[in-house]
Amino acid sequence: MQRMKSSYDELKVIDGNLRKEILELKEELRHADKDSQKKESGIDRKEEWHRVLDFASTEGIYILENGIVIEANQTGCEMFGYTYKETIGLRAVDVFEEVDKKTVIERITQKVTGFYRVTAIRKDGTRFPTEIYGRKIRFKAKDLRLSIVRDISGRVKTEQKLQETEHRFKTLFDNAADGIIVGDKKGHIIDANSSFCKLTGYTREEILFKFIAELFSKQSLENMPLQFGLLKNGHSVISEREIVSKTGALIPIEMNTTLMANNYYLAVVRDMTDRKKAEETLLLKNKEFMLAKKRAEESDQLKSEFLANMSHEIRTPMNGILGFSRMLGEEELDAEQQKLYIDIIENSSNQLMRIIDDILEISILETKQVKVVNNPLNLNRLFLELFTIYDRQAKMNKTPLYIKTGLNDERATVLVDEIKLRKVLTNLIDNALRYTNEGFVEIGYRLDEDMLSFYVKDTGIGIAKEKQRIIFERFSQAEKRLSKEYGGLGLGLSIAKENSELMGGGISVESVSGEGSTFTFTIPYQPVVASNSKQKGSLVSGSANESSFTVLVVEDEEINYLYLETIIRKVDSAMVILHAKNGEEAVEMCRSNRDINIVFMDIKMPRMNGLEATMIIKEFAPDLKIIAQTAYSTFEDKQYALNAGCDDFLEKPINVELLSKIINDTFVEKTSNLK
């Protein structure tokens, strides 16, 4: 287009010069007409015409009269392939395409001044594009027309190539996978391709003439301002930033901005969402890999420590067994020493057997070939047996052991793999007793919908929150020092976890460092007898179950509590039985649970004895029946109990018939009051 404009300018100069020359010629001709006798003036005119017509040698110049060529320059003749004699007398319309003849005639007849394009025909029939400048001239009182014709074949080819190039560029521009925007030097967008519109959600009309800074969030511009200053220095600027879509969503992009001619900038915008996600995924995978590597290294370290610890754990009981076995052969030993050595050998053997059992168990579990074998088992009897086994150890540690059963004997008979259940419970109880030096250990179970929840609660050293994740892993303990201080291989909790999962449940822990832990594991409840079966063995007239009869047993000795619980269950297996371990607990339970119907209160207990507790309870629950039960049976003891507010007195060992009568009477009183 710039080249075309130059041609136009050149033609204007030519036209100006021609006009000047023609005016001068007209003036000379006017003077020549006055002197008609000067014969040579005609010759002079012809020479002047030729001089003017030959002025522009690159264009064809023609003088027309009524559309007929009356004069032409040499270039014009050669352009159409005619001789001078053949050119003079040609009709102008005859040398142009049929479709263009109407245009040529209109320009000539209407005496239109200006440029126009038509296709010309040479004498040999070839076609070529022309650009014609025509205008009216006045000569010898005649209206003539000056036509300047230029062959623009080269220009048309150039224009066609330019159009093809522009079309290819437009095609690439519109179909580019990346977004492309073009802006002016002030930062306004003057063009945008379809990919950019799709990326941002704007239409092309909405994008045009927007200031580019409007497409970025304020935070993004503050973090990375637009750097047009660098573009002025001829640099291409590549930056990562976030663009704001029409919906307000932030889109991570990479923008490559380049300064173009006439201070226009072109920016290629690439959506980085997938790459960012890939980078995040890669970082996450790398993090997981590093974590897995760390865990593998820790696992190797744990195994090394486990082997060293196992060596120590095995050698310790073996030393006891071998050493005291030799000492048994000494003749000077008396019976008491022999019994002591035998007890040590027996305990060391049991300790060694537990270590071997754990090693064999974890080896079997690793094979993933262990099968679950369910058989009927009474959970209440199992817990009573566990209490009998561990109560002695608990007393030696001066750590009371309590049990809580959640179902009556009939509903407590379930289908379960007894071996695996025992392993989980014994491992948890062993841990609780090992790490608890004061306070208590409590084991129990309850029915939560269709799952049995077993728990082992202790007031021991507890587990730090950050260590709770790893305690169920093999060969691990919360602290490495624990293996030295408390012993153990670090396999117990791993075995408990594996077996609870094999039985269809899971295991978890709640713990506070220094305050204790509660381990809970669940298995599906599979009762042998349907849960809605009629309760048997009730000695109470009517249904205590229907009236929600609740008994509170206040007893610090677990054996005594279990005995009382067994007797009460025989009276009515459907009763709700609660257990308080001392007077303070009894007061709190009576205050918070007004459904309690009767309290069996032990007199001698730690923290607060039964008489003190009775006096406090009677202050806020004067109608609550409280029965004293104690091994002391003197008249004074009974009187003390009655004076403190007790309603009756039971001597230990408890008389079953008397206890049944007290419960029956209390139940009858309750049902009468309800009526």
CATH number at residue 646: 3.40.50.2300
Contact 669, 662 (CB under 8 A): no
pLDDT in tens, 10-68: 444 444 444 455 455 445 545 544 443 343 334 344 455 555 555 446 789 899 999 99
| Domain shared by 266 and 285, yes or no | no
- Looking at the fold, whether 242 and 282 belong to one and the same domain comes out as no
Sign of CA dihedral 538, 539, 541, 546: negative
Residue 539 structural domain = 534-675
Q: Are residues 100 and 136 in the same domain?
A: yes
Evaluate whether residue 170 is within a structural domain: no
Tokens read off for 173 = 């521009």
- Quick check: is 166 in a domain? no
Domain identity same for 525 and 540? no
Shared-domain flag, residues 356 and 400: no
Mark which of 334, 349, 366 sits at the end of a domain.
366
**Last residue of some domain: 533, 553, 575?**
533
Backbone phi, psi, residue 125, to 5° = 95, -5
pLDDT at 226: 75
Residue 427 sits in a domain of what CATH number? Answer: 3.30.565.10
Select the more confidently predicted residue: 259 or 609.
Answer: 609
Pair (427, 320) in one structural domain: no
What are 239's strand-pairing partners?
Answer: 255
* CATH (domain of 193): 3.30.450.20
Q: Do 134 and 99 fall into the same domain?
A: yes
Q: What pLDDT, on a 0 to 100 scale, did the predictor assign at position 434?
A: 85
Lowest-pLDDT choice from 79-83, 145-149, 431-435: 431-435
SS3 489: coil
534 DSSP assignment: P
H helices of 228-334, where?
Answer: 228-232, 273-328
The domain tally of the chain equals 5
Burial 386-408 (b: 16+ CB within 10 A, else e): bbeebbeebeeeebbbbbbbbbb
Peptide bond into 252 cis (omega under 30): no
What pLDDT is recorded for position 416? 93
Evaluated on CA atoms 498, 503, 505, 508, the torsion sign reads: negative
User: Confidence band (pLDDT; 50, 70, 90) for 135?
Assistant: very high
Decide if 169 is inside a domain.
Answer: no
Kindly state whether residues 508 and 391 are assigned to the same domain.
yes
Are 431 and 484 found together in one domain?
yes
Q: List pLDDT tens digits, range 361-376.
A: 666 766 666 788 899 9
- Are 392 and 361 contained in the same domain? no
Identity of residue 667: F
- What is the rounded end-to-end Cα distance, in angstroms, of the chain? 111
Q: Which residues of 496-531 are buried (b: 16+ CB within 10 A; e: fewer)?
A: bbbbbebbebebebebeeeebbebbbbbebebeeee
**Number of CB atoms found within 10 A of residue 422's CB:** 16
**Which CATH number covers residue 306?**
1.10.287.130
Q: Does 514 reside within a domain?
A: yes
Q: Is residue 376 part of a domain?
A: yes
Which of 517, 533, 549 is the endpoint of a domain? 533
Residue 165 lies in a domain: no
Cα–Cα dist 660/375, whole Å: 34
- Considering only the C-alpha atoms of the chain, give the largest distance between any 2 of them, rounded to a whole number of Å: 181
Query: Domain for residue 653, yes or no?
Result: yes
Let me know whether 342 and 421 are in one domain.
no
Same domain, 528 and 385: yes
Cβ contacts of residue 202 below 8 Å, gap of 6+?
Answer: 246
Within-domain flag for 168: no
Question: What backbone phi and psi angles, to 5 degrees, belong to 244?
Answer: -100, 120
* pLDDT for residue 126: 94
